[in-house]
Amino acid sequence: MRIDWDVPITMDDGLVLRADIFRPDADGRYPVIMTHGPYAKGLSFQQAFTFAWSNLEAEHPDALAGSSNRYQNWETVDPEKWVPDGYVVIRVDARGSGRSPGYVDIFSPREALDYYTCIEWAGVQQWSNGKVGLLGISYYAVNQWQVAALQPPHLAAICPWEGATDYYREFTHHGGIPSDFLSQWFPPQVEAMQHGVGDRGARNPVTGVPVAGPETLDPDVLEKSRADVVAEMLARPVLDDYYRDRSADLTKVTVPTLSATNWGHHLHTRGGFDGYNAIPAEQKWLEVHGQQHWVEFYTDYGLRLQKRFFGHFLKGEDTGWADQPPVFLNVRRVDGTFAQRAENEWPLARTDWTTFHLDLDRQELTTTPPRSETSVDFAALGDGITLWTEPLSVETEITGPASAHLTVASSTEDADLFLVLRVQDPNGIDVTFPGAMDPEGAIAFGWLRASLRATDPALSTPYRPWQTYTESQPLTPGEPVGVDVEIWPTSVIIPAGYRLGVTLTGRDFTFPGEGPWPEAYGVRMRGNGIFVHTDERGRPQTVFAGTTTLFNGASLLLPIIPVSG
């Protein structure tokens, strides 16, 4: 293939971004697969993300087969697997990142406009057939939703693979609770790749040039050339225009879309479902899988799916995509395997929405309402309350979004609520599933800051409350309030003899036991991956280390799928 390094693309304000372009040897016009983001287009996947690469090598060798892997780049496609099939692969360093100068402001309107310009530039090049597709993971999926809402004329199809659509509800806050993620992720993955790090940073193993160069600037100069996203988040506890400007306007996404998401990711799960349901595109599909965050994008399973989609929309080939079901699920089993199933909609129309009660008298999770008005106190930073069902008499599938209705009080003016759905085997051992970067996660999570409990009735459903997050309503110490908690979509088939459980705490859930627990970004992962909420600037102990009271009458609304046939 032909490779053009650091190709200039001029923005509307005169700034020049740099792109690496991988093209077929033969002259002609080809469709384009593009990514645009801050992770440095020349950074080696193998060297920078050894933990993920080692996992692919050991457990998913098909992901690396058939390629020299010389051009592998974190969360983007491998050119060696796409260019021979007649695609042009383009990687663009976003403004202020990698080899592109400028001011770094992640997910900003300015960045989305730059992406629009890059798409339109690619669509009119002599080697382009005029059709541009977007395909990438995480950051490279989130900004697909954003730029698609701008409707660039040469954008022909998008496949946001484990992205997000709501900067507040998914990226910076969980249920209004500020997440530590920005503080953990931004320095090593964005700051370290900022244009001007130059000789202090990594080098492209193929070209030898600094991936964040060619200049090497003083750290104080770099600091002034990037937005302080953590400070912005901490200064903005409620949802305002800052967050709205960094969230996709899904009502304007009309391009053919394949939304691929993961059952077990505290950043990426929710947006894949929301994006699929909210966009008005006439041609849209949803795919849901498991495994760690990076796995299925690179495996033969993911590659086949992607090429069938883009072959249909960018090349006009008969790939069989015309027969693709609107929804395709990899339903999780407790042994780590999956039941693959085609569906027509999300949530599933045949769902038997079932209420499970948290019976504080009997200390059980049951479908029978409690008979008293008992209440239970727990230390907000302690282990909380855990209730289990009796062993299930029949195999039970839970697939869909869920919710909890609780009545709570706090000894302080607020309370953070962390709700976790769990499964135990007949020996009382937790069943875990790979989630995000954590090899052991629970089956579902929900969060809510009680002072941000106000919902929008027009957008809420029984199974998915929609908090506005625009107004804080502090609690009166000791006075109970009703709250509805959104539980992110999940899926699991629970065998007979196993038990379903729920844990409610005032801090991040952790699985019991001594470990050893894996670490990433300095976080010991015990069920939440790296997505924890420990920064006292957003959770001062004077407010969130009190005593929480749960009153009888609490319930879960769970999506039970009837056994077919």
pLDDT tens digits, one per residue of 389-422: 999 999 999 999 999 999 999 999 999 999 999 9
Residue 438, pLDDT score? 77
State the greatest distance between any 2 C-alpha atoms of the chain, in Å, as a whole number: 77
Domain-embedded: residue 550:
yes
Residue 339, pLDDT score? 96
Q: Which of 321, 333, 329, 322 is nearest to 345 (CA)?
A: 329
Residue 528, pLDDT score? 82
Can you tell me the mean pLDDT for 90-117? 98
Can you tell me the mean pLDDT for 122-127? 98
Condensed to tens digits (0 to 9), the pLDDT of residues 182-237 reads: 999 999 999 999 999 999 999 999 999 999 999 999 999 999 999 999 999 999 99
Phi, psi values for residue 370, rounded to 5°: -70, 160
How far, in Å, CA of 108 to CA of 240, rounded? 14
Residue 40, pLDDT score? 98
Q: Which of 442, 420, 447 is nearest to 525 (CA)?
A: 442
Radius of gyration for the chain, computed over Cα atoms and rounded to the nearest angstrom? 24
Domain-embedded: residue 46:
yes
Residue 293, pLDDT score? 87
Does 462 lie in the same domain as 357? yes
Of 273-282, 399-408, 433-442, minimum mean pLDDT range: 433-442
| pLDDT at residue 565 tops 60 | no
How far, in Å, CA of 435 to CA of 443, rounded? 9
Domain-embedded: residue 182:
no
Element (H, E) at 225: none
Residue 494 near residue 500, CB atoms below 8 Å: yes
Binning pLDDT at 50, 70 and 90, where does residue 372 land?
confident
Does 374 lie in the same domain as 481? yes
**CA 243 to the chain's CA centroid:** 16
Binning pLDDT at 50, 70 and 90, where does residue 509 land?
very high
Residue 435, pLDDT score? 77
Residue 268 near residue 75, CB atoms below 8 Å: no
- The dihedral over CA atoms of 44, 184, 442, 77, expressed in degrees to the nearest 10, equals -20
Can you tell me the mean pLDDT for 306-333? 97
Residue 371, pLDDT score? 87
Q: Tokens 């999300």 — which residue?
A: 346
Does 360 lie in the same domain as 309? no
Binning pLDDT at 50, 70 and 90, where does residue 563 land?
confident
Within a 10 A sphere around the Cβ of 170, how many other Cβ atoms?
A: 23
Q: Which of 298, 272, 560, 263 is nearest to 433 (CA)?
A: 263
What is the residue range of 438's domain?
Answer: 352-561
Residue 175 near residue 446, CB atoms below 8 Å: yes
| pLDDT at residue 434 tops 90 | no
Domain-embedded: residue 125:
yes
Q: What's the mean per-residue pLDDT of the chain?
A: 96
Does 381 lie in the same domain as 290? no
The tokens of 383 are what? 């282990």
Does 384 lie in the same domain as 273? no
Residue 84 near residue 24, CB atoms below 8 Å: yes
Does 299 lie in the same domain as 368? no
How far, in Å, CA of 159 to CA of 321, rounded? 14
| CATH for 413 | 2.60.120.260
Does 382 lie in the same domain as 308? no
| pLDDT at residue 559 tops 90 | yes
Condensed to tens digits (0 to 9), the pLDDT of residues 302-317 reads: 999 999 999 999 999 9
Alpha helices in 5-138 (DSSP H): 45-48, 50-59, 79-82, 109-123
Residue 146 near residue 112, CB atoms below 8 Å: yes
Does 363 lie in the same domain as 315? no
Task: Find out whether the peptide bond into 214 is cis, omega within 30 degrees of 0.
Answer: yes
Domain-embedded: residue 176:
no
How far, in Å, CA of 167 to CA of 181, rounded? 12
Can you tell me the mean pLDDT for 55-78? 97
Sheet holding 88-93, edge to edge: 2-10, 16-23, 88-93, 30-37, 128-137, 155-161, 257-262, 284-289, 327-332, 338-343
Does 373 lie in the same domain as 486? yes
Residue 256, pLDDT score? 98
- The structural domain count of the chain equals 2
Residue 472, pLDDT score? 97
Does 205 lie in the same domain as 76? yes
What is the bridge-based pairing of β-strands 128-137 and 30-37?
parallel
Q: Which of 273, 278, 277, 274 is nearest to 289 (CA)?
A: 273
Does 364 lie in the same domain as 312? no
Query: H helices then E strands: how many in the chain?
Result: 13, 27
Does 397 lie in the same domain as 358? yes
Domain-embedded: residue 160:
yes
